Structure 1
Amino acid sequence: MMRDKYKDIFEAGTDLPLVEDFYTIQGEGYHTGKPAYFIRIGGCDIGCRWCDSKISWNPKEHRLISVEEVVRKAVESPAKSVVVTGGEPSLYNLEPLCSELKKHNIENFLETSGAYEITGEWDWICLSPKANKAPVESSYKKANELKFIIFDLEKDFALAEEHAKLVGDDCLLYLQSEWSQYVHNIKAIVEYVKNNPKWNISLQSHKFMRIP
């Protein structure tokens, strides 16, 4: 299992396999339209077939970078917030990264499937559950936002509702079409949200704008 093989790296959290980091505009969910510095961490053992970041699955393909270095690069940008994504960031001890970001008064947002215990102190946690591996119970309790990806219309609305039962009452709920299925799915998603107004729609606006 990946977590066993890279146990020392995952548990220390002082160095992380960096896939990419860049300053851009958040394109999805509650913080859509907000400028943010993205830190994409390598390593994922969930393996969604529609994943748009398969390059991030194998941590061995990405160089280890110290938390101090990646935060320094974020600080040098104009960003006032950082989004940590993956891969699956909950594989790692993220307390060192959170602590370093807080030293510079930078808001920290996490995007995770919640498949493992979430570590570190976060200003916002977007929980995006995956069918292949459900979130651990504590991830539901920490989520500020539940973002469920709709790929299969026949199955995924029901799955989204099951996950929505497990988050807190103040957690915001979003449905987002998987990008390759957008044209096929969007009308059904619109109708579903109109009929179930506890949900909101999230669009991958960065892809419509053609920005990273």
Structure 2
Amino acid sequence: MIYNLYIFDRHCVCIFYIDWHRHRKSGGIMGSNNAGTTSTTTSMNGQPDGGDSGGSSSSPAHSAAANNHLASHHSTTSQLTSATSMFSDSRLVNIEEEAKLVYGVVRTLRNLVNKLSGNQDGFISYRTSNYKLHYYETQTGLKFVINTDPSTDSLRPVLRQIYTNFFVEYVVKNPLAPVGHPGGEGVNNEYFKAAVDKFVKNLPVFDS
């Protein structure tokens, strides 16, 4: 199982990502092929990994029209199906595309829950047969998302602690840290990364 933590700013940009590989089989993005537990962090300002497009090409106008057409027909079901496949052991999607997909799923489900319940804080988590997504949003619009195995209890308090104990301490209070993250500059703070990594690895649920 791979644990993934994403932090999105109020502009929907992923500004921090870290994953923990637990007994991963092989391959995948940014991964270790060895059994055991390792962690990987990355800022979100790099270029997409790219890949083979199958030799096809299209004009910018055609691509924009096609993208708009596809976006208008995306459903919650298709997003969840894509996300479920993404978190299997053989993920091929790159980190930036993964973050966009995760945010899309979160936004769709959050809006759905808000409409049904009228509660702005009603969306907490959702679970599939492969993983469970936990969600926490701050009053300033930061969104914390972590994916775990399906049997994990709610980690919303854990995400709140990551924000209050580490993000505020090492990022918000850091006079050298940027106020915003234009273009997905990302959080590049080694103290924050190390603190989050240690904190999550020491959670009882992580070793279970």
User: TM class by shorter-chain length?
Assistant: under 0.3
TM-score (norm 2): 0.28
More contact order relative to length (CA 8 Å, sep ≥ 6): 2
TM-score (norm 1): 0.28
Q: Which has the higher strand share?
A: 1
